[in-house]
């Protein structure tokens, strides 16, 4: 395990208040924007995979991600050594199996939503994900919410009710995406720094590989597979699913090591904003008045949540600077 550099900020809020102090922040922003921009373009990528169906796409995505991660561990310095360290803990291996199940639900739901004309509702899932994460903190971690967080959660509940009225049913796609990714994040938090991004994705996709093989066998014997039958460009796009999956995740991991969490909190909205724009502007999905009202309420809740985080970070930075004046670090 590497030791922290002397220039590493002593707190998240301290780093947020003094971005110029860390030379890593510039590259951190580049990694973060790259990760979320790539995630924001995913709907267009999955639509380009037609005539492949959602189950075939996810199956190939898992297998090619596993292959890509294996190659990545091979070229990374100490990649396979880190992976073997992960395998030594049975608890971590089983935990990553659960994480794999959750990410499978998330991937399958998202691709189904994209290919059935529900990109806007899918973007809603990632808009409400930060609020779901706060809710899970109370439900699972027994955390206590601040007043602003309660307000954000309350507004979000009202938004879901409004959207349920607009859709004629609860926005199940958005809720499944938000809660599956929320629980996935919770599990990854429990694992902590013991599992790096490459080893984690390798283990998750390894757990899911048998499911993918069975899925492809069933599809091959029933509806047939599209891989190799729709031209070389289509085959190349399917093969690139591993890169498309792993690269933004690695960018995200690199950004998280370089940027304070408060900055990551702001940038995370780039992906659902892009997905929403793709759904409304490019794919012309319907947005009646009640959906605009529901989405607007979600955005208000996110503003409340984000302002609360920024204010607390600012207060922490001021306390940090005061402490340095009173008792400067050696």
What was the pLDDT predicted at 16? 36
Instruction: Report mean pLDDT in 10-residue bins for the chain, 330 residues.
Output: 38 37 66 90 94 94 94 88 89 91 95 94 90 80 78 86 85 93 84 80 93 96 90 93 88 77 75 92 91 91 82 63 42
Find the helix or strand (DSSP H, E) in which 9 lies. none
What was the pLDDT predicted at 14? 37
DSSP string, 119-155: HHHHHHHHHHHHHHHHHHHHHTT-PPPPHHHHHHHHH
- Main-chain dihedrals φ then ψ at residue 9, nearest 5 degrees: -60, 145
As a whole number of angstroms, the distance between CA 238 and CA 230 comes to: 11
What was the pLDDT predicted at 68? 93
For residue 82 the two structure tokens come to 């880190």
What was the pLDDT predicted at 236? 94
What was the pLDDT predicted at 45? 95
What was the pLDDT predicted at 94? 92
As a whole number of angstroms, the distance between CA 29 and CA 263 comes to: 9
Q: What is the pTM of this model?
A: 0.82
For residue 17 the two structure tokens come to 């208040």
What was the pLDDT predicted at 7? 37
Helices (H) and strands (E) in the chain, counts: 15, 0
Contact 99, 279 (CB under 8 A): no
Burial class (CB within 10 angstroms; exposed 0-12, middle 13-18, buried 19+) of 15: buried
Residue in this structure with the two tokens 């402490």, named with its chain if needed:
323
């Amino acid at each position: 395990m590497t030791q922290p550099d002397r220039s590493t900020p002593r707190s998240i809020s301290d780093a947020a208040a003094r971005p110029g102090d860390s030379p890593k922040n510039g590259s951190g922003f580049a990694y973060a924007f790259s990760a979320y921009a790539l995630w924001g373009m995913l709907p267009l990528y999955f639509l380009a995979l037609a005539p492949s169906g959602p189950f075939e796409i996810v199956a190939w995505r898992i297998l090619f991600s596993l292959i890509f991660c294996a190659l990545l561990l091979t070229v990374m310095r100490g990649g396979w050594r880190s992976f073997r360290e992960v395998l030594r803990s049975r608890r971590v291996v089983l935990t990553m199996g659960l994480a794999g199940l959750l990410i499978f639900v998330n991937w399958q739901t998202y691709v189904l939503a994209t290919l059935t004309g529900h990109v806007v509702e899918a973007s809603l899932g990632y808009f409400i994900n930060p609020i779901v994460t706060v809710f899970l903190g109370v439900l699972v971690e027994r955390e206590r919410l601040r007043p602003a967080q309660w307000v954000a959660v309350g507004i979000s509940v009202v938004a879901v009710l409004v959207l349920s009225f607009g859709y004629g049913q609860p926005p199940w796609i958005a809720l499944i995406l938000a809660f599956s990714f929320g629980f996935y994040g919770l599990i990854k938090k429990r694992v902590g720094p013991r599992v790096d991004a490459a080893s984690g994705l390798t283990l998750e996709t390894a757990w899911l590989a048998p499911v993918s093989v069975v899925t492809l066998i069933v599809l091959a014997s029933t509806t047939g597979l599209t891989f190799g039958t729709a031209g070389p460009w289509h085959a190349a796009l399917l093969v690139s699913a591993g890169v498309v999956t792993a690269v933004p995740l690695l960018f995200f991991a690199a950004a998280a090591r370089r940027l304070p969490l408060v900055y990551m909190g702001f940038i995370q909205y780039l992906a659902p904003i892009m997905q929403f724009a793709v759904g409304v502007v490019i794919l012309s999905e319907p947005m009646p008045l009640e959906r605009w009202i529901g989405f607007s309420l979600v955005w208000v809740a996110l503003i409340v949540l984000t302002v609360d985080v920024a204010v607390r970070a600012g207060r922490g930075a001021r306390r940090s600077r005061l402490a340095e004046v009173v008792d400067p670090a050696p």
